[in-house]
Amino acid sequence: MSGIDTFAIVGGDKRQVAMAESILSDGYNVCAVGFENAGLKSGITTASLKDAVKMSDYIILPVPATTSDGYLNAPHSRTQIAVDDEFAKTMFDKKIFCARAEDLIAASPIFSNMQLYDYSKREEFAVNNAIPTAEGAIQIAMQEYSGTINGSRCLVTGFGRIGKVLSKMLKGIGAKVTASARKPKDIAWINLLGYSAVLTASLASASAGSVDFDIIFNTIPSLIFDADVLARLPKNAVIIDLASLPGGVDFDAARKLKIKAIQALALPGKVAPRAAGEIIKNTIYNMIEEGQL
Amino acid sequence: MSGIDTFAIVGGDKRQVAMAESILSDGYNVCAVGFENAGLKSGITTASLKDAVKMSDYIILPVPATTSDGYLNAPHSRTQIAVDDEFAKTMFDKKIFCARAEDLIAASPIFSNMQLYDYSKREEFAVNNAIPTAEGAIQIAMQEYSGTINGSRCLVTGFGRIGKVLSKMLKGIGAKVTASARKPKDIAWINLLGYSAVLTASLASASAGSVDFDIIFNTIPSLIFDADVLARLPKNAVIIDLASLPGGVDFDAARKLKIKAIQALALPGKVAPRAAGEIIKNTIYNMIEEGQL
Amino acid sequence: MSGIDTFAIVGGDKRQVAMAESILSDGYNVCAVGFENAGLKSGITTASLKDAVKMSDYIILPVPATTSDGYLNAPHSRTQIAVDDEFAKTMFDKKIFCARAEDLIAASPIFSNMQLYDYSKREEFAVNNAIPTAEGAIQIAMQEYSGTINGSRCLVTGFGRIGKVLSKMLKGIGAKVTASARKPKDIAWINLLGYSAVLTASLASASAGSVDFDIIFNTIPSLIFDADVLARLPKNAVIIDLASLPGGVDFDAARKLKIKAIQALALPGKVAPRAAGEIIKNTIYNMIEEGQL
Amino acid sequence: MSGIDTFAIVGGDKRQVAMAESILSDGYNVCAVGFENAGLKSGITTASLKDAVKMSDYIILPVPATTSDGYLNAPHSRTQIAVDDEFAKTMFDKKIFCARAEDLIAASPIFSNMQLYDYSKREEFAVNNAIPTAEGAIQIAMQEYSGTINGSRCLVTGFGRIGKVLSKMLKGIGAKVTASARKPKDIAWINLLGYSAVLTASLASASAGSVDFDIIFNTIPSLIFDADVLARLPKNAVIIDLASLPGGVDFDAARKLKIKAIQALALPGKVAPRAAGEIIKNTIYNMIEEGQL
């Protein structure tokens, strides 16, 4: 990527730390903002936001960019940095790589007139993040389920990216995998790939019988596992909800029924920060190389 | 199994708790000794050692039976129970299922004249325990390695039971698996099963080049990963030592080289107590049904 | 499917024979036209086209319906049946299940005003046919390649339905699989599923080096394997062209270069007639049950 | 392998032709006897048996060495060569690589005092030949079974080398695999590897129910599939008998019951001659390098 000299990495967690090191080792300068407590590797410059922006060709914001109370998502920062009009203005004429651009625009309308390049909307970002998400889900299952994954009866609801990768890995460990989907086409694929198939709708409606699964991985963001369905699960069952908020599980009902239900969000950054950092970096590199900026 | 009424479960951890519940649900009486703090399910009788032995057909001791300082391995017990001549005498005329009978005999020579049936020597016990051991190892790898298992370069040293199961599971998650063995026959099998093969001896002798693996699972109980070999690993490498003590890794050298090295012993009981309890129970049932008692 | 009594099966090969038996065993009447030499099972009625149409609720035409010279595709028929205006008129007011409806309309414009239900356009028909197609391709590879599939370097061009199923099966036998695709998203999936990935375009352009594959399965219907690319293959290589006509291989050039190149079309009917018959039947049943008629 | 100059390849089929070419391309001289009609590649010398023996360091005999009527197994030879005392004497002081040395000694007792090195007794020969044997069996199944392997219910009797490899490949294509074994230890492994397990003995004794398998691969050389068991198979079932003679199937009974039963022997040479030739060559090279000669 010729003509590029410096990336500013503004905020983020272990993923951004890993990404900073990785970009540095690719031969670029890296200027980091908001990592005072991260113990950054030597070679990575730190600077004020203003200076960092000035000396950089591109700015990279984290995923998510903002906390729920309006600050920059920067857990390793010594101080809190507000994401507001002033923040936006500081980097007004710069090219900015971000995730969930709509959040930034909600935080400051100025962003709507700026050069935002949303890496989180890229297909390869989503596909590649399915791997650490699936591994994180399996890790949680291993921690929480008192039997072995091998030989257990697993249900994966939804056969999108995460459903596909997760089903494959679970089968690779020796689980008995059932996957659910809505469309006949997906049901055909599920069967063809060697899993048992079930229509998602039938999970709720099977009012009579039990739902015989030891471990359930939900990827569908709508309430499937309500009190009725939960009551039909076996006693040692574990549910891991991977769907974005509000998720697909009635956690209160689960608590009452003493069924282990875990909400597992943002797994890539938690379980495989280095891999997750590489995925962000590679997506950004692809965007630069495709010349869409 | 006709004619059997009651099992005494004397000592043990979560595995024995799970086994007690499982035997109870099979329709037998269970009398537990040394589980005062375990919160046992109703239906399981508790009694003194003497009474428990008296009312039971079979006695089941845990794996391992003794702690390093000579007491019964009973972490859920309110008091410590010495494994000594008196302990042996209490159950003198009973049929005893135990693991590592040699440890008991070392604790009290009286045991050498008693009816000890060692379930830990059974082939199916070892084969089936390879599953929770392999899953436990993968769980540790997921926790400790900063990338994803998928796509990582894994080395499994030794192609015995654990090596075989672990290699298969790692490949099932998408790792690039290399397995090591000593015999040409095993090398042929490794290749045939789709892994890369390397002679165990060549790992140490490859003095020049690097040992390019991200995650190493050692199952060989002899020092392969000494300071020299460790120094040739990539910086983010993780070593998980599954070999029985003293293991196969120079942990001091690893610490100095800042390489993550984890000693992982007795995984089945830690990561999948219920599965591990079932394995013990099923092995004992097999022994009873084969009428070898 | 209530209210249905009789299916007329008009023309076809072993697949339709198998389908006739299967529909019969589901409890429906089956009236077959054009199977005089097929040795049909007792219970299947035979009749003239006119009578068969009259007594049936649905008519099923084969895939393809017509031969290149305008007759009904009916290899087991004693006489040739022209697919023309008269043929169309005979079944004018009936519901007709067919494949490639456009061929029928080309043969007689009357068909354009008739109730044609094209099962070959259904997604599950295509998905499920990928299985016998992939197996047929592997069978040909086993017959033609002088080594074993296990350990061989296989290239699958195109990562559509057949490419996906074929790659999975080849890997399941132990081949080293490389799959090609055009889109970055598909490249990400190829990697994620554990295959090597290559951009389809790069196969042609790699003018310098060799194309190191033992067996090549082409699923892309455009000329990729021209004389230049063929010349860069290893001497024992085998190419199996699964793409619909005109295919993707310069067969003349292959002959001159003494490279085995096989055009493999319509595999489901050839290698797994019973499975292929079931796929047609199940697709038709789905269409009836969805009430789209 | 220093000090070696020339190999004499005396008799054999396509495997030996492929082996001759392979040894030649490794840089050794090859002198072939009994391949007049094989169209050997230029560079391979042909000579009389006497001359070939004289000029060679090692002699390689085929597998099997002899035909049932006492001649050298040499289908590409213009004349028949008797394997008798004279044949033995011709190569008396030479090192001879052979298969099934006992056959040679039966043909001429002189061989019992000669330097016979039996490559067919080597473990890696057997392990590696399991691959072309399993692939050949699958190829036959694809040809003979009217459905697809994917989704079919396959039984593999015997969990030795061929049973292990075959089960793995069948599962890799998507079959539902059941494997049979006699020992509890093997049953544990079968379950652990993700197949269904059945005791071999129970196949015969299940006098009541049916034996619900679509394709059966027998690797056990004793009569398991007698008229009784055959009568309980589904009508479209296919049996492929891989066991050495007399095999494990009552072929007469199968014919009467109209069940497809195929005796499949010596598959490596038939389905993958080049791979089979490499396996012989590599085994011989190993023997030479281990210096056991």
The SS3 assignment for D14 reads helix
| CA-based nearest residue in chain A for residue D176 | A194
Average pLDDT over residues C78-89: 94
Q: Please give the pLDDT value at position A201.
A: 87
CA distance A146 to C254: 59
How far is C109 from chain D, CA to nearest CA, in Å? 37
Mean pLDDT across B89-98: 94
**d(Cα D10, Cα D66) in Å, to the nearest integer?**
11
Q: Residue B30 pLDDT > 60, yes or no? A: yes
Q: How large is the average pLDDT for residues A253-279?
A: 92
What mean pLDDT is predicted for residues A91-120?
Answer: 94
**ipTM for the complex?**
0.86
* CA distance to partner chain B, nearest, from residue D219 (Å): 19
Please report the pLDDT score of residue A190 as a whole number. 94
State pLDDT tens for residues C38-50. 888 889 999 999 9
Q: How many angstroms separate the Cα of C259 from the Cα of each of A250, C24, C140, C232, C250? A: 62, 46, 15, 11, 11
Residue A133 pLDDT greater than 60, yes or no: yes
pLDDT of residue D282: 92
Q: Note whether D188 contacts B131, CB cutoff 8 Å.
A: no
> Which DSSP state fits C112?
G
User: Choosing among C119, C122, C127, C288, which should be mutated to test the A contact, i.e. which has the most A CBs within 10 A?
Assistant: C127
Selecting from D127, D168, D192 the residue whose C-beta is nearest the C-beta of B188 gives: D127
Q: What's the rounded mean pLDDT across residues A138-160?
A: 95
User: Between C168, C188, C193, which is nearest A128 by CB?
Assistant: C188
Q: Say if the Cβ atoms of B124 and D188 lie within 8 Å.
A: yes
Instruction: Give the residue from D189, D284, D290, D292 with the most B CB atoms within 10 Å of its CB, the best one to mutate.
Output: D189
For D80, the enclosing helix (H) or strand (E) is: none
Question: Would the CB atoms of A131 and C168 count as touching at under 8 Å?
Answer: no
Q: Which chain B residues touch A142 with a CB distance below 8 Å?
A: 135-136, 138-139, 142, 271
Closest residue in C to A191 (Cα) is C128
**Cβ D150–A174 below 8 Å, yes or no?**
no
> Cβ neighbours of residue D37 under 8 Å, at least 6 residues apart?
D76, D77, D78
Closest CA–CA distance from residue B181 to any residue of chain C (Å): 20
Find chains touching chain C: ≥3 CB pairs under 8 Å. A, B, D
> What residue in B sits closest to A150 (Cα-Cα)?
B131
Nearest CA in chain D to A195: D174
Neighboring chains of A (3 or more beta-carbon pairs < 8 A): B, C, D
- pLDDT tens profile B261-273: 999 988 998 888 9
Best mutation site among A148, A195, A282 for testing chain B: the one with the most B CBs within 10 Å? A148
Region A62-87 average pLDDT: 92
DSSP string, D207-223: -SS----SEEEE--SS-
Residue-averaged pLDDT of chain A: 92
- Predicted confidence at residue B123, as pLDDT, reads 87
pLDDT band at D209 (very low <50, low <70, confident <90, very high): low
Give pLDDT, residue D292. 58
What mean pLDDT is reported for chain B? 92
Nearest to B177 by CA among B159, B147, B156, B198: B156
Confidence of residue D201 (pLDDT cuts 50, 70, 90): confident
Rounded Cα distance between C121 and C76, Å, is 26
Asked whether residue C202 carries a pLDDT value surpassing 90, the answer given is no
More confident residue, B204 or D144: D144
Chain C residues near residue A184 by CB distance under 8 angstroms: 123-124, 286
Question: Residues D12-56: pLDDT tens digits?
Answer: 999 999 999 999 999 999 999 999 998 888 899 999 999 999 999
Q: What is the pLDDT at residue C277?
A: 95
**D177: closest chain A residue by CA:** A194
Residue whose C-alpha is closest to residue B218's, from B183, B266, B179: B179
Confidence band, pLDDT 50/70/90 cuts, at residue C293:
low
pLDDT in tens, D85-109: 999 999 999 999 999 999 999 999 9
Percent of chain A at pLDDT > 90 equals 76
User: Residue D77 — left, alpha, or beta (φ > 0 → left; ψ -120 to 50 → alpha)?
Assistant: beta
Q: Provide the strand spans (E) within A187-286.
A: 196-199, 215-218, 238-241, 260-263
Instruction: Please report the pLDDT score of residue A206 as a whole number.
Output: 60
Distance from CA of A9 to the nearest CA of C (A): 25
Report helix, strand or coil for D178.
Answer: strand
Among chain B residues, the shortest Cα distance to C171 is held by: B194
pLDDT at B246: 84
- pLDDT bin (cut points 50, 70, 90) of residue D279 is very high
Confidence grade of residue B68 (pLDDT, cut at 50, 70, 90): confident
Contact list, D151 vs chain A (CB under 8 Å): 191
Residues in chain A with CB shorter than 8 Å from the CB of C168 are: 193
CB nearest C124 (choices: A128, A131, A188): A188
Q: What percent of chain C has pLDDT over 70?
A: 97
Mean pLDDT of all residues in D61-77 = 91
- Nearest CB among B150, B169, B273 relative to A135 is that of B150
Confidence of residue B286 (pLDDT cuts 50, 70, 90): confident
Q: What is the dihedral of CA C140, C144, C146, C149, to 10 degrees?
A: -20
Q: Do D173 and C171 touch (CB under 8 A)?
A: no
The pLDDT value given to residue C269: 87
- Indicate if the pLDDT at residue C204 is higher than 90: no
What local confidence, expressed as pLDDT, does residue B206 receive?
Answer: 60
C140, C146, C260: best mutation site toward chain D, by most D Cβ within 10 Å? C146
| Amino acid of residue D173 | I
pLDDT of B293 above 80: no
Residues of A in contact with B148 (CB under 8 A): 131-132, 135, 272, 275
- Looking at the partner chain, which of D174, D191, D192 has a beta carbon nearest the beta carbon of A194? D174
Using an 8 Å CB-CB cutoff, list residues of chain B that contact chain C: 150-151, 174, 191-192, 194
Query: pLDDT value at position B39?
Result: 86
pLDDT of C271 > 60? The answer is yes
Picking from C150, C174, C194, the nearest residue to B174 by CB comes out as C194
The whole-number average pLDDT for the span D242-251 is 91
Query: How close A104 comes to chain B (CA, Å)?
Result: 29
Looking at the partner chain, which of C132, C135, C146 has a beta carbon nearest the beta carbon of D272? C146
**pLDDT > 70? residue D207:** no
- Is the pLDDT at A216 greater than 90? The verdict is yes
Predicted local confidence at residue D206, as pLDDT: 60
User: Residue C290: what pLDDT?
Assistant: 82
Q: Is the pLDDT of residue B241 over 80?
A: yes
Provide residues of D within 8 Å CB-CB of chain A: 150-151, 174, 191-192, 194
| Chain A residue whose CA is closest to B267 | A148
D34: nearest Cα among D8, D54, D58: D8
List of chain A residues whose C-beta atoms are within 8 Å of the C-beta of residue B146: 18, 272-275
3-state secondary structure of A22: helix
More confident residue, A211 or D113: D113
